[in-house]
Amino acid sequence: MILEVVTKELKDRQALLTVKVEEEWLDPFLKTASRRLANRVAVPGFRRGKAPHRVVLRHLGKEALIREAMDELGKAAYDEALEESGLEPIQLDDFEIVEWEPLTLGMTVSLKPVVEPGAYQSMPVAIEEVKVEEGDAEDVLRHLQEKYAEKVSVERPAARGDLALVDVEGTLEGRVVLKMDQQEYELAADAEFPIADFGEKLIGMSAGDEKSFSVTFPDDYDDGELAGQEVAFRVHLHNVQEKRLPEMDDELAKIVGGFATLQELREKIREDLYLSREAKQKDELADKLLDSIAEEAQIDYPPLFLNRELETMVRMFAFDLQEQGFTLEGYLRTAGRTAEDFLDELRPAAEERVRKSLVLGKLVEEEGIEVEDSEIEEELARVTQVYGQDTQEIRDTLLRNERIKEDTRNRLCGRKIVERLSAISSRGEEESMEGASVEAEAELSRACTVDEGKAPASTEAHGSSEETLSDD
């Protein structure tokens, strides 16, 4: 048995278990360790593996045996310490030997967060009616016309709306800052890459033409190196294509795939727009709701939650950089910041995300919210849907990503909480209206009673007058 377990509550939902163990409890672990060490260490007077426990103990010392046995010993001591202390930690954070004689172990553990969300059910939550206008579906249909347009090479100068196949080189003070070969570029009025005025410079060029021009990037341009700078461009135009749109009829619906008529496609678009806007509204409401509750809630959690969130944010940031051909180390070096500086910048956002996540978990527990795996699959099918394309492979990839599945589950939980609190708000409003109606009826009844009470007095007054007149 473990000799003694002392539990000390630390700040931030951690606890320290100080464990002293008896020799009788320790002895089996030391004997197992001595057998292993006897096979690896030469003990004078004995062949490998033949030295008895007492000889190995005397030769190597008790500390060496304890270190050898620490994995098994530590786990067993930890399990018994938890049983004796009654704690239910979520993680063992630190393990150390405090004293060698008697053997005393120190174990720092993380405890479950404590979340007191307050009177969140009294918060008003109103879900507005989602509207999808006829023109909204038509906009999507026009986009599908553009998507399935036929591209035809033409022997004429490039015009707005055409597709230009170009080589582009941009230089700043003699350095190449932008280079694209055989790049298809749409001469759209709203084109903003690499800059809004760029496409206008290509209008009027013909296949085989070369053109040089300069463009000044805006001061707020994302790339700080180019912001406010005048960049010299040289463009070679290989080919000009115009887009010939398909007719907006049943044939378009068949091209898109899975639809027999244009009306069927139009109805599907309206349904998808409705679901998308409904989901967006609930997500925004959930986000604001969690912000408000987290701001007022009493929340205490161990450091591991913040550390995990920081690790996730750093990993996602590094992945985004990698997608652009950069590394986190190179980014920090260029920005003149250390890893510690970067973590300090992320910390406030990480803390906010942890608080909101814990509040969400508490509300899910309090309200008995559940999200089935089938609901996650349906949501991922909805957000990955592309008309005319089979996105099953994309969905399968997302479903294999536990982080994405958990994020989707949390988002669906947030929507269900919004629905639950909206229903509570609606009931409260109805009860208030019913209460007001009952009060109004009672007030009216009281007023009528008062009026009826006055009538006899008035009659008596008239009677007195009549008696007075007849007496005369």
Question: Which two three-digit tokens encode residue 165?
Answer: 């196949």
pLDDT of amino acid 38: 93
What are the distances in angstroms from CA 471 to CA 89, 126, 467, 468? Answer: 101, 74, 6, 5
Tell me the per-residue pLDDT of 367-416, one tens digit each, with 9 for 90 and over: 999 999 999 999 999 999 888 788 899 999 999 999 999 999 999 999 99
pLDDT tens-digit map of 196-215: 778 888 999 999 999 999 98
pLDDT, residue 127, reads: 94
Label residue 191 by pLDDT band (50, 70, 90): confident
Residue 171: predicted pLDDT: 94
Kindly state the greatest CA–CA separation across the chain.
151
Per-residue pLDDT band for 433 (boundaries 50, 70, 90) equals: low
Residue carrying the six token digits 């990955």: 384
- Write the pLDDT tens digit of every residue in 113-135: 999 999 999 999 999 999 999 89
Under the banding of pLDDT at 50, 70 and 90, the label for residue 458 is: very low
Closest to 209 measured CA to CA, from 174, 151, 171, 165: 165
Distance CA 472, CA 462 (A): 16
3-state DSSP assignment of residue 457: helix
Name the H helices within 324-372: 328-335, 339-367
Nearest-angstrom CA–CA distance, 210 and 235:
6
Residue 202 is which amino acid?
L
322 phi and psi, to 5 degrees? -60, -40
**Second CATH level (architecture) for the domain 254-421:** Orthogonal Bundle (1.10)
CATH topology (fold) of 2-112: Alpha-Beta Plaits (3.30.70)
Which tokens go with 101?
Answer: 């004689």
Average pLDDT of 42-69?
A: 93
Residue 294 backbone dihedrals phi, psi, to 5 degrees: -65, -30
Residue 91 neighbours by CB under 8 Å, 6+ apart: 109, 110, 302, 304
Among the listed residues 279, 278, 256, the one whose alpha carbon sits nearest the alpha carbon of residue 268: 256
What per-residue confidence (pLDDT) applies to 441?
63
How does residue 456 score in pLDDT terms, banded at 50, 70 and 90?
Answer: very low
Q: How confident is the model at residue 163 (pLDDT cuts 50, 70, 90)?
A: very high
Confidence of residue 307 (pLDDT cuts 50, 70, 90): very high
- CATH number for 150-244 (one of 2.60.120.200, 3.40.50.920, 3.30.70.270, 3.10.50.40): it is 3.10.50.40
Contact 44, 59 (CB under 8 A): yes
User: Can you give the pLDDT at residue 278?
Assistant: 97
For residue 228, report the phi and psi dihedrals to the nearest 5 degrees: 75, 5
CB atoms within 10 A of CB 107: 25
Taking only the tens place, the pLDDT of each residue in 169-190 is 999 998 999 899 999 989 887 7
Of residues 345 and 469, the one with the higher pLDDT is 345
1 has pLDDT over 60: no
Is 430's pLDDT higher than 60? no
Q: pLDDT band at residue 193, thresholds of 50, 70 and 90?
A: confident
For residue range 314-331, list pLDDT tens digits in order.
Answer: 999 999 999 888 899 998
Q: Does the pTM of the predicted model rise above 0.85?
A: no
Is the pLDDT at 251 greater than 90? The verdict is yes
* Domain residue spans of the chain: 2-112, 150-244, 254-421
pLDDT for residue 165 is more than 70? yes
Distance from C-alpha of 328 to C-alpha of 318, rounded to nearest angstrom: 5
Q: Radius of gyration of the chain from Cα atoms?
A: 38
Beta-carbon count within 10 A of 296 CB: 13
Residue 36 has pLDDT above 60, yes or no: yes
Q: What is the DSSP string of 155-209?
A: SS---TT-EEEEEEEEEETTEEEEEEEEEEEE--TT--SS-TTHHHHHTT--TT-
Return d(Cα 345, Cα 334) in angstroms, integer: 16
Query: Average pLDDT over the chain, rounded to whole?
Result: 89
Phi, psi at residue 104, to the nearest 5°?
-125, 125
Q: pLDDT at position 449, please?
A: 58
Distance CA 20, CA 99 (A): 9
Give SS3 for 130.
coil
> What's the CA gap between 404 and 382, in Å, rounded?
14
Q: What is the pLDDT of residues 73-88, one digit of tens each?
A: 999 999 999 999 999 9
For 269-317, the DSSP string reads HHHHHHHHHHHHHHHHHHHHHHHHHHHHSEEE--HHHHHHHHHHHHHHH
Query: What are the pLDDT digits (tens) for 215-247?
Result: 888 888 878 788 899 999 999 999 999 999 999
